[in-house]
Amino acid sequence: MARGGIWSGVSNSPCGPQYGDSGSAARFFYCAKPGKAERGEGNNHPTVKPLKLMAYLCRLVTPPGGLILDPFAGSGTTGIAARDAGFRALLMEREDAYVKIIRQRLTASST
């Protein structure tokens, strides 16, 4: 029996058509974790995303010249990727330490 698709937590049986889907999401898109240079100096954010991944996602869901909203900007990766891919971005972050990291990364990556 195929192991992919949608399963019922109640009956522990398939709820719809099964497609034999297996494997992790990495089979659709893979890129390495960001290294020290990509993270930026002093970036201690726990979940820095790869710029290539975020640029891919920006292009996937945003029309040309569109605006990307990131209400949890973290270390600013989405903003950098959006800018580099030709999009506008509005970033929000409540933690002062992360705002500092965002500013450093945006400044360093624009040169």
Average pLDDT over residues 36-55: 92
Q: Hey, what domains does the chain have and what are their CATH numbers?
A: 1-30 (no CATH), 35-109 (3.40.50.150)
Q: Is the pLDDT of residue 93 over 70?
A: yes
Average pLDDT over residues 25-29: 66
Mean pLDDT of the residues in the chain: 85
Q: Is the pLDDT of residue 15 over 60?
A: yes
Q: Is the pLDDT of residue 70 over 60?
A: yes
Would you state the pLDDT for residue 1? 47
What is residue 7's three-state secondary structure? strand
Average pLDDT over residues 53-64: 93
Which of 25-34, 50-59, 62-71, 101-110 is predicted with the least confidence, judged by mean pLDDT? Answer: 25-34
> HEC states along 64-110?
CCCEEEECCCCCCHHHHHHHHCCCEEEECCCCHHHHHHHHHHHHHHC
CA distance 13 to 23: 19
| CB half-sphere exposure, 62, CA atoms < 13 A | 22
pTM comes to 0.72
Q: Which residues contact 57 (CB under 8 A, 6 or more apart)?
A: 81
CA distance 19 to 108: 46
Tens of pLDDT, residue by residue over 80-89, are 999 999 999 9
- The amino acid at 69: L
CA distance 19 to 102: 42
